[in-house]
Structure 1
Amino acid sequence: MVTNKDAEAGVQKEEIPHDHLFKVTGLSSSNLQKLGQDVAAATPADFEAAIAATGYGKFNILLMLCTLPAFWSAVSVTSSVSYIFTRAQCDMQLSLLDMGTVNAITYGGMISSAMIWGFLSDTLGRRRIMVWGNFFSGVLELCGSLSQNFPMLLLTRFASGFLFNGPFAVLISYLAELHRTELRARVILLTSLFYTIANTTLPLLAWAILTKDWHFYMFGNKFVIHAWNIFLMATALVPMFTGLAFLCMPESPKFLMSRGRNEEAMQVFRKIYTMNTGKPKEEYPIAVLVEEKSEEQAQGVAALRGGLSQLAPLFRAPHLKWLVLMCVIHLGCMFGSNTLRLWYPQLAAMIGSNSNESLCAAIAPEATVPPDDVSCKPILTDMLTYLQSAIVGAGSVLTYGIGGALVNRCGKKLVSGLCGVLSALVIILLPFLGTGAFTVVGLVTAALAFTSLCGASLSSITVDLFPTSSRVMALATFLMCGRVGTILGTITFPALIKFGCLPPFITIAAVLGAVGLACAIVPNTTLKKLE
């Protein structure tokens, strides 16, 4: 308890150094305190200190609101076309192999541009890539939505994947560079929820549009807009909106500091500080940033050589064997996971929502004869057909919730291996136990939950296996191999269906089983410190 005497004593004690300091320095205690604060502010601060000083508030919320449509775009760019086949199959005379090729071609575009976007993002900046990459990807999606034939749809899907890969690859880095250290892991985890929202709402949008019998004829009936064209138009607007939304966001201050543009970075920090705290930018506690620009930075051909020299250690011992192992395992994991995910909307439509018909009866070879002008009839769908896909998409919520606890308790290696084997067992049971729509929904949801957790664990192991200097290149190679697996799977699935119901599911199960067993030779990286 503080008495009046204590307070007076405190005041008297403060007056003595005040008079003494004033005589010695000519400055009052308040001026000296301000001088001390100015000296502290003038001490160069690194990026972590600068971003932490901005706080957390309105800016971060706005950033996440801009990020949500970006993740929705990622799902729609790769998956929206898989929902149109029930109608476009007859309009464009598509065989099952054609459908698989269209599903795969987007990933082909992503693979072909992976290295290009990595170079451009470190040269042009994060914001510019996300603005123009998203916007023009949406423009290409819009052009693709007007497709009247298979070649046009194929070309626009490839070009869209080529363009969209850049801004989406940059997005994770951008998010990390605008949050302080203790918030980054939470933010990245939150993006998993955005994927779930997208995977749940996309089939609901498909139900709202694709169940309508819309046909609009133009130019003397030579140009027709069907319901599936309108669905693709609707999904194309999201990446365009995303690009416009990022016009309101600043450039990554981390990128600006790495390029020696500290004055611009300081303006960004002050803007974030003002939005988060409501205080004027002049009160931002940091006045000077450290110089991060490396003298060894290069451009053009020299930068390309630098990237190749960074890639070279991955292909030498001791990293080569682990890189090959992780890439092969991830290829197999995505072969099973994305093949099932991209083909499920078509399988659900074939089975029907109220039918007790078995999965094999619905996709029997005689039911998959390529359509012709006379006999082709579009597959009728209803709300329950698309609701099944929404349930499958929402199933990943449990995956990340339960998986996080399992990884901490059991270790990444055990979780990835066990999930690979369990997903194989579930998929091999699909042809035998899939005797109705809801049974198939349950089995597919379980299989995709296991493969998602397996893929997440493999990604985390890959991060731990490689040193910082090679980690980004290792992850880029790892993800590229996963996309190769997606392409192989989506094309192999329809080819195997021609031989009967069992071959495609046995093949997927065999690959995922091999993935699970191969995880036994992956090194244990649980609680391993990053190199």
Structure 2
Amino acid sequence: MSEVDLAGLENNVKEHQDTKIPTAMQEINLALKECGVGWFHVRLLSTSFVGLIAGVLVTNTTPFILPVAECDLNMNLLQKGLLNATPYIGMTLVSIVAGFLTDTFGRKMFLVSGFGGLFLFTVIAGSSQSYEVLIISKFFEGILFAISFSAALSITSEFCYKEIRDRMLLLRSSFMAVAQILIAAMSWGILTQDWELSLFNGFIDLHVWNFYIYIMSFWSLISFILYIALPESPRYYVAQRKFDEARKILIKMYTMNTGKPVETFKYANLWKNKVNGVIKEEPEKKTESRLKHQLVAGLHNVKPMFRRPLVFYLFIISAMNFLSMALYNVIRLWFPQLSSIVEHYSSIDSNQDLCTMLDTYTNDLKLRNTNVTTLDVCIPTRSGNETYMNSIILGFVCIIPFAVSGILVNKVGKRNLYVAAAAICVGVTLGIRWANSKVAVVALFSVDAAISQTMVGLYQAFTMELFPTTTRTLAISVIMTSGRIGTLAGNVAFPILLDMGCVVPFYTLTAVMICVTFMAVFLPNS
């Protein structure tokens, strides 16, 4: 074939590509780009911020109430660990199924029902008069958080066009550290009070931690109201072939963001032919056969994930996430309790190291539980101002990785950065055992939490890069589930190990991070 013929063929192919009709998803991306960024996205991110705080409170309120409620609920160390871990049991049970149902029935349904149910069970938790009622409430809070979390993440990304989506999700991720700071500040303002209220002749006794949970429940109530006012994802409507509903939402976004009339919107009449033609004329049997075909195709697309090399990457990242999340959430969730112990026992003898103080506390707790008489009065090891200040400091330190990892990751590579972060965690976790001052305890816990949070972000980046689009969501769900199981195991094991002696849990966590460092070497650098 001559060069002229080849050139003509290339031109024909190019003309065919240029005239190719865009898909509905490509069209919606163009329409979202035409809508721009404005007040609608401010409203979207504000709603997401409030919802994220409500979600973080599911796990973060428990560590703050453990010291002040230990006598009211008669909790030992193991019961405290179970209370910390219970929300993760609920999350683990429903997270994968919730993701599938959200894609099938829409995001808004699960956001509204998730945050509405979360408010209800938070109020029940605030009314708790026994440990059993509180732990059951926390279990259902975990379930409802998992339902709303996947939907909130999806709806935030699906109102953004491709070029700004990553930045919006990164901004949303930074809300986590801000939420931790805000929650610590609110906890400081409420839990240091001496509020008590007895109702119905002592049938219900409300203590300060009950009021604390009541006040924190308003975040989920506000989220419930805000998500009712937010429209459904237009991408979901397009996926369900409900083009008329999607177009109305795009028009609303355009007018809110630009302040211009509908007539100036280039895509005001988008998909009108599809609404009048394809949707109304398509028989129900074709819909059923299409759904069956999509299910078979989806199962076929998942097969590569269970073949080499993807199955190896899935196994090793899941194992690393199991171990690293166990460390991260033990450090994060037990910090307020341990800080309260340090604050209390360092006032008795400031020359003690952390393990000496923890061993003294566990011995006192054993004596209290074994030598109880009717004359004994339980005095809780309540958190003072220092504990809340330390939690705020930890939150501020955890913001740093969002900036540092973004600068270093392209220069040194994700694997090298992950190995370095894991190695730092080994040294810091080992150093906690010998911390002999309040400053050292806060510094080491903060660095450990911040570096662990960086590792969480890196494993997510590994997953996005290593797994193709057809298996990426399932891979993320599997890896997140392994991390939540690790959190559950870590929070149950920590008090048991602490009861054996302070050095046991910290040496165990150090060994865990040595394993993570070793496994990270087998990951590809890019």
TM-score by length of 1: 0.86
Deviation at 1:465? 1.1
Q: 1:362 maps to which residue?
A: 357
Q: Deviations over 1:311-340 (max 9, x none)?
A: 454333332111111100110110111111
Q: Deviations over 1:185-222 (max 9, x none)?
A: 11111123211111101111111111112221112112
Alpha-carbon spacing, 1:137–1:298, altered in 2? closer, same or farther (3 Å): farther
Q: 1:491 maps to which residue?
A: 492
1:382-401 counterparts in 2 under 5 A? 382-401=384-403
Q: Deviations over 1:94-128 (max 9, x none)?
A: 01100100111100000111132122211221112
User: Aligned partners of 1:127 and 1:299: how far apart in 2?
Assistant: 24
Q: 2:193 maps to which residue?
A: 212
Q: Which amino acid aligns with 2:253?
A: I
Q: Deviations over 1:16-45 (max 9, x none)?
A: xxxxxxxxxxxxxxxxxxxxxxxxxx9976
User: Aligned partners of 1:470 and 1:296: how far apart in 2?
Assistant: 24
1:18-417 counterparts in 2 under 5 A? 46-286=27-267, 287-289=269-271, 311-352=302-343, 355=347, 356=350, 357-364=352-359, 365-369=362-366, 371-372=368-369, 374-417=376-419
Alpha-carbon spacing, 1:212–1:305, altered in 2? closer, same or farther (3 Å): farther
Q: 1:26 maps to which residue?
A: none
User: Aligned partners of 2:355 and 2:378: how far apart in 1?
Assistant: 20
Deviation at 1:282? 2.6
User: Aligned partners of 1:375 and 1:431: how far apart in 2?
Assistant: 32
Q: 2:519 maps to which residue?
A: 518
Kept in 2: contact 1:142–1:237 (CA 8 A):
no
Kept in 1: contact 2:68–2:383 (CA 8 A):
no
Q: Which amino acid aligns with 2:385?
A: M
Kept in 2: contact 1:43–1:288 (CA 8 A):
no
Q: 1:426 maps to which residue?
A: 428
Q: Which amino acid aligns with 2:340?
A: A
Q: Deviations over 1:422-452 (max 9, x none)?
A: 11110100111x1122211111111111111
Kept in 1: contact 2:302–2:470 (CA 8 A):
no
Q: 2:7 maps to which residue?
A: none
Q: SS of the residue aligned with 1:381?
A: coil
Q: 1:34 maps to which residue?
A: none
User: Aligned partners of 2:159 and 2:93: how far apart in 1?
Assistant: 29
Q: SS of the residue aligned with 2:37?
A: coil
Whether 1:445 and 2:446 are equivalent positions in the alignment is: yes
Deviation at 1:369? 2.1
Kept in 2: contact 1:416–1:455 (CA 8 A):
no
Q: Which amino acid aligns with 1:391?
A: I
Kept in 2: contact 1:497–1:504 (CA 8 A):
yes
Alpha-carbon spacing, 1:502–1:162, altered in 2? closer, same or farther (3 Å): same
Q: 2:8 maps to which residue?
A: none
Q: Which amino acid aligns with 1:262?
A: F
Q: SS of the residue aligned with 2:433?
A: helix
Alpha-carbon spacing, 1:43–1:165, altered in 2? closer, same or farther (3 Å): closer
Kept in 2: contact 1:421–1:512 (CA 8 A):
yes
Kept in 2: contact 1:400–1:453 (CA 8 A):
yes
Alpha-carbon spacing, 1:420–1:367, altered in 2? closer, same or farther (3 Å): farther
Q: Deviations over 1:218-271 (max 9, x none)?
A: 121121111011111112221121011111111100000010011110000000
User: Aligned partners of 2:333 and 2:308: how far apart in 1?
Assistant: 37
Q: Which amino acid aligns with 2:266?
A: P
User: Aligned partners of 2:367 and 2:321: how far apart in 1?
Assistant: 33
Q: SS of the residue aligned with 1:84?
A: helix
User: Aligned partners of 1:166 and 1:50: how far apart in 2?
Assistant: 29
User: Aligned partners of 1:144 and 1:307: how far apart in 2?
Assistant: 40
Q: SS of the residue aligned with 2:246?
A: helix
Q: SS of the residue aligned with 2:71?
A: helix
Alpha-carbon spacing, 1:220–1:504, altered in 2? closer, same or farther (3 Å): same
User: Aligned partners of 1:271 and 1:207: how far apart in 2?
Assistant: 41
Q: 1:16 maps to which residue?
A: none
Q: 1:11 maps to which residue?
A: none
Deviation at 1:93? 0.5
Q: Deviations over 1:279-324 (max 9, x none)?
A: 1123210122496999777799998777655545433333211111
User: Aligned partners of 1:446 and 1:205: how far apart in 2?
Assistant: 23
Q: Which amino acid aligns with 1:99?
A: K
Kept in 2: contact 1:144–1:152 (CA 8 A):
yes
Whether 1:462 and 2:443 are equivalent positions in the alignment is: no
Alpha-carbon spacing, 1:299–1:425, altered in 2? closer, same or farther (3 Å): farther
Deviation at 1:359? 1.3
